[in-house]
Amino acid sequence: MKIITILSGKGGTGKTTLSSNLSVLLSKNKKIVVADCDSDAPNLGLALGIEEKDFTGIQKVQTNEKAIFDEDKCDGCKKCFKICNFGAIKWDDKKNRPIFDSLLCEGCGTCQLVCPKKAISLVKVNNGKIGFAKTNYGFNLYSGQLNIGSTGSGKIVSLIKEKAEKFAAKENIELMLVDSAAGVGCPVIASIQGSDFIVAVTEPTPSALYDLKRALRTVEHFRIPYGIIINKWDLNKGFSKKIESFAQRLKIPILGKISYDIKFVESLVNMKPVVEINLKYKEIFNKIIERINK
C-alpha cells in the first residue's frame, strides 16, 4: 500500500481542504483509506460531511501516565513537592502531605524516583479516543482526539495510523492518505513516518514559508520524496514567486497552485469538497494527482 501524507508546517494553510479534495478524487480510481492525524484539531471529517455522531468503533486511548500517591506510606518529606518541575504538586500544610494535580502532571516519573517511601506510582489514564466513519464517498476515515490539556499527541497519531493500516491490510486497500498535524513536533514526525510521498502545503506568507522549510527538514531527515502546493497563491503573487524560486533552487517539484476562492469557504460550510461541485477545481486537483503519481 502506498502512503501519501499532506503536511503544512504552519496551521491554517488549507491542509484539510486539500486532504478532503484529494481523497475524494483519489477514491474514484483506487481503494483508499484516510487517516486524520491532526489530533489537536481533527476536522477532516467535517470537510467530508462527517459529524462526530457518525463515528463508530470508538476506543478509549491512554497516551500518558499520571502520578498518584499512597497517603499511608507517605511521611511528608516534601521531596516530591520540591522536585516537580511542572507545578503539579502542591503542599497541604495542615495534613503535611502533597496534593497531586492530575491536569498539570506530565507523567515524567521524577517524583516517583525521589520518593524514599515508595509512596508514588504512575497510572495510565484514559485521555483520548479514536474511531472511524464511512464517508459518503465510499472510503473509511480514521480519526482521534485527545482530551483538552492532555499530552501524547504523537502516540495518538501512531494509534490512528495503526488502526487505519490494519483495516487497509484486511480490505486490500491500495492507498492511505494521511492528513498530518500542523507544526514540526512529535505528531508530525509520527504522521510522516512510513510515508512514500509528502505533499507539503503552503501559502504566500513569510511565516508559512518559514514553517514549511522547518517541516521539510524533518521530511528530508526521513528521506521521503515530496512536492509543494501553493494555496491561495494569488493573494500575494510576489511572495508566491519567491516560494517558486526557492523550490526551483532546491529542485522541489511544485505540484500545483490554487487560487483563493470563496467556493472553498462555501464548500466547508456545506461540508462538501469543492471538487464535487466545481469542474474547474476537479481538473486542477486531478492535475495535482497526476504530478504526485509521476
Q: Which residues bind ligand SF4 (CB under 6 A)?
A: 67, 69, 74-80, 84, 86, 88-89, 98, 100, 105-111, 114-115, 117, 119-120
Q: Is 194 left (phi over 0), alpha (psi -120 to 50) or beta?
A: left
| Rounded least distance, CB 113 to ligand SF4, Å | 9
| Rounded least distance, CB 70 to ligand SF4, Å | 8
Residue identified by cell 502520578 is 67
| Rounded least distance, CB 81 to ligand SF4, Å | 6
Q: Is 203 exposed, middle or buried (0-12, 13-18, 19+ CB in 10 A)?
A: buried
What's the residue count for the chain?
Answer: 294
| Rounded least distance, CB 94 to ligand SF4, Å | 14
Closer to ligand SF4 by Cβ: residue 110 or 193: 110
Counting Cα atoms < 13 Å in the Cβ hemisphere of 70 gives: 12
Q: How far is the C-alpha of 265 from the C-alpha of 151, rounded, in Å? A: 31
Q: What share of the chain is helix, strand, coil (3-state, %, to 5)?
A: 40, 25, 35
Closer to ligand SF4 by Cβ: residue 44 or 119: 119
Closer to ligand SF4 by Cβ: residue 120 or 219: 120
Residue 54 phi/psi, 5-degree rounding, is -80, -15
Closer to ligand SF4 by Cβ: residue 76 or 253: 76
Closer to ligand SF4 by Cβ: residue 120 or 188: 120
| Rounded least distance, CB 93 to ligand SF4, Å | 13
Contact 138, 23 (CB under 8 A): no
